[in-house]
């Protein structure tokens, strides 16, 4: 996913490696102190980067944090295309479930901050949440085109929320991570039946 560019001036000359270092450092600070206590001064000091360089690239700390989360997103949904919806969901379960603990911890911290910081909520929705929802919608759109799912199925408009909700909400609700086994079972017993799809076999990709 592309990084964000602040609206306050021209794009700074940060190479890819330096950009990745900044993103990793920012997420480390978020884990250490939380979004509320995070400042651009902290980022500048820890990463030995001038604030002028940071502000040329990112308009504020909300944009920077959203960019860091987007860049660190370990699951690239738009690269999943197995040829069937069941296979796509199986692959998503493996990819997303494999990094569930770290993702849940970060997202939980950000969810609280989003409630009290409208700029963060807007940045997260624009550059992270909406991007993920749109990518997941492509999975069911392909299934409709292939004839696996009826176009007028009433569950189709809710597919993305059903899938993404399972990825991010279980830890908050139960304290348990959405690991691959849980996601496979959820996709098999909840998501696919809601779309009128037959449950796959034991290997879940047949």
Residue that terminates a domain, selected from 24, 46, 70: 70
Q: How far is 197 from 104, CA to CA, in rounded Å?
A: 29
Same domain, 109 and 39: no
Q: Per residue in 83-141, pLDDT tens?
A: 999 999 999 999 888 776 666 667 777 888 898 999 999 999 988 888 889 999 999 99
What mean pLDDT value characterizes the chain?
85
Report residue 195 as tokens: 């779309």
Same domain, 91 and 187: yes
* 205: in domain: no
The CATH number of the domain holding residue 56 is: 1.10.10.60
Q: How far is 67 from 4, CA to CA, in rounded Å?
A: 6
Q: Per residue in 61-98, pLDDT tens?
A: 999 999 998 887 766 788 899 999 999 999 999 988 87
Q: How far is 143 from 16, CA to CA, in rounded Å?
A: 36
Q: Compute and round to an integer the Cα radius of gyration of the chain.
A: 19
Compare 77 and 193 and report the one with higher pLDDT: 193
Q: How far is 184 from 180, CA to CA, in rounded Å?
A: 6
* 139: in domain: yes
What percent of the chain shows pLDDT beyond 90? 57
Same domain, 62 and 109: no
Mean pLDDT: which of 6-20, 28-42, 168-182 is highest? 28-42
Whether residue 13 has pLDDT greater than 70: no
Count of structural domains, the chain: 2
The CATH number of the domain holding residue 152 is: 1.10.357.10
> What's the domain range around 55?
16-70
Whether residue 9 has pLDDT greater than 70: no
Q: How confident is the model at residue 177 (pLDDT cuts 50, 70, 90)?
A: confident
* 199: in domain: no
Same domain, 121 and 105: yes
Q: What is the pTM of this model?
A: 0.76
Report residue 202 as tokens: 């034991």
């Amino acid at each position: 996913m592309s990084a964000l560019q602040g609206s306050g001036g021209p794009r700074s000359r940060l190479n890819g490696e330096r950009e990745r270092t900044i993103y990793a450092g920012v997420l480390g600070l978020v884990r250490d102190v939380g979004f509320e206590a995070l400042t651009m001064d902290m980022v500048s000091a820890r990463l030995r980067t001038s604030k002028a360089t940071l502000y040329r690239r990112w308009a504020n700390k909300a944009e920077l944090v959203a960019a860091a989360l987007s860049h660190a997103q370990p699951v690239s949904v738009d690269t999943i295309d197995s040829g069937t919806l069941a296979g796509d969901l199986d692959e998503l379960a493996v990819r997303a479930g494999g990094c569930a603990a770290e993702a849940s911890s970060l997202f939980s911290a950000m969810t609280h901050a989003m409630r009290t910081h409208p700029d963060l909520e807007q940045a997260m929705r624009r550059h992270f949440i909406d991007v993920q929802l749109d990518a997941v919608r492509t999975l069911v759109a392909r299934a409709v085109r292939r004839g696996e799912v009826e176009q007028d199925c009433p569950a189709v408009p809710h597919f993305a929320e059903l899938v993404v909700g399972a990825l991010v909400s279980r830890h908050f609700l139960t304290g348990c991570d959405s690991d691959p086994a849980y996601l496979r079972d959820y996709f098999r017993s909840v998501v696919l039946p809601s779309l009128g799809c037959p449950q796959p076999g034991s290997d879940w990709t047949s």
